[in-house]
Amino acid sequence: MPGVFQMSIDEAIKECETLKSLGLYSIILFGIPDVKDSVGSDALCEHGIIAQAIREIKAAHPDMFVVTDLCFCEYTDHGHCGIIDTARETVDNDATLELSAKQAIVHAKAGADMIAPSGMMDGIIVTLRTALDKAGYVELPIMAYSTKFSSGYYGPFRDVAESVPSFGDRTTYQMDPANRREAIAESIEDEAQGADILMVKPALAYLDIIRDIKENTSRPLAIYNVSGEYAMLKFAGREGLIDYDRVLMETMIAFKRAGASIIISYHAKEVAKLLGH
């Protein structure tokens, strides 16, 4: 993925300096541990890569808003977003909920400013809200990956994050791109469970869904401009096929026009520069 790298914690701290100079004060963290196992132990440990990263980044940059992606696919050796029921060779939704609550507390204790569960498990929002409240983190917001499609646009990310599933695919927990009604219902459901921010992911091929959800919910709506979308623009720009800056801004405007309040994007630094920061 051009211009996108795995970073050490030291590099991430330096990157925050650059981001702030561009007026960017929020980041979302994805952890890639040295050792992966069947239950994603690194994600459950207070000395795991993410816990350590949150602590060190917040110590160096208290003014940086640190969001954590909460999932298991980068931490498990099988690459799925949850714990596997080995007898049935599927993700065990309820076992995953239990461990997700643990992971959320690890993030909270380390100092995360917002938790963003991305695994698409049923009941995840109410589970995390209850667990966080019980542990005293009543003010800690949850950004739900509420409408997340099973998408070919995630290809480059899985490569960078080393999270390609070792068997099967994610269609049992991610959503069918053809199903508009379910897409809307999933975000309404997460709002009812207590999500503070909703999300549509990917963005570009789902502008209609962004608008639908905007009109049917009252939480701020984030969109995730994913790796495949980024890569398409990058490679077309490099080949001189499109006016890169122009198409980039046109794309960002489309997200806003569709109803996005928050844009999560690999283009963030480029956009900040184009906006004159």
Binding site for Zn ion (CB under 5 A): 71, 73, 81, 119
Stretch binding ligand PBG (CB under 6 A), from 56-64, 87-95, 150-158, 232-240: 150-158
Active site residue 148: yes
The one of Zn ion, ligand PBG, none whose footprint includes residue 68, by CB under 5 to 8 A per kind, is: none
- Identity of residue 48: G
Q: Which two tokens stand for residue 10?
A: 């030291």
The residue within the footprint of ligand PBG, chosen from 26, 28, 114, 158 (CB under 6 A), is 158
Q: Of 185, 15, 13, nearest to 4 (Cα)?
A: 15
C-alpha gyration radius of the chain: 18
Is 234 an interacting residue with respect to ligand PBG (CB under 6 A)? no
Going from the C-alpha of 190 to that of each of 112, 144, 186, 194, 277, the distances in angstroms are 21, 7, 6, 6, 35
Under the criterion CB under 6 A, does residue 73 sit at the interface with ligand PBG?
A: yes
List the one residue from 80, 107, 170, 267 that touches ligand PBG (CB under 6 A): 170
Closest approach of ligand PBG to the CB of residue 217, in Å: 22
Transcribe 136-178 into DSSP letters: T-TT--BB---EEB--GGGHHHHHHTT---SSS-STTTSBPTT
Q: Are 226 and 153 in contact (CB under 8 A)?
A: yes
- Report the residue from 195, 226, 231, 252 that binds ligand PBG according to the rule CB under 6 A: 226
Q: Given the rule CB under 6 A, which of 122-130, 132-140, 153-161, 255-263 is the region that contacts ligand PBG?
A: 153-161
What is the Cα–Cα distance from 133 to 130, expressed in whole angstroms?
Answer: 5
Residue 234 is a catalytic residue? no
Residue 157: name its binding partner from Zn ion, ligand PBG, none (Cβ under 5 to 8 Å by kind).
ligand PBG
Among 187, 227, 251, 265, binds ligand PBG (CB under 6 A): 227
Q: Whole-number minimum distance, CB 133 to ligand PBG, in Å? A: 24
Q: Which DSSP state fits 71? A: -
Per annotation, catalytic residue among 14, 58, 109, 201: 201
157 near ligand PBG, rule: CB under 6 A = yes
Q: Give all strands (DSSP E) within the chain, no chain letters.
A: 26-29, 65-70, 84-85, 90-91, 114-117, 147-148, 198-201, 221-225, 262-265
- Using CB under 6 A as the binding rule, whether residue 93 contacts ligand PBG is answered as no
Smallest separation, CB 81 to Zn ion (Å): 3
Helix (H) or strand (E) holding 19: helix 9-21
Residues that bind ligand PBG (CB under 6 A): 69, 71, 73, 81, 118-119, 154, 157-158, 163, 170, 226-227
- As annotated, the active-site residues are 148, 201
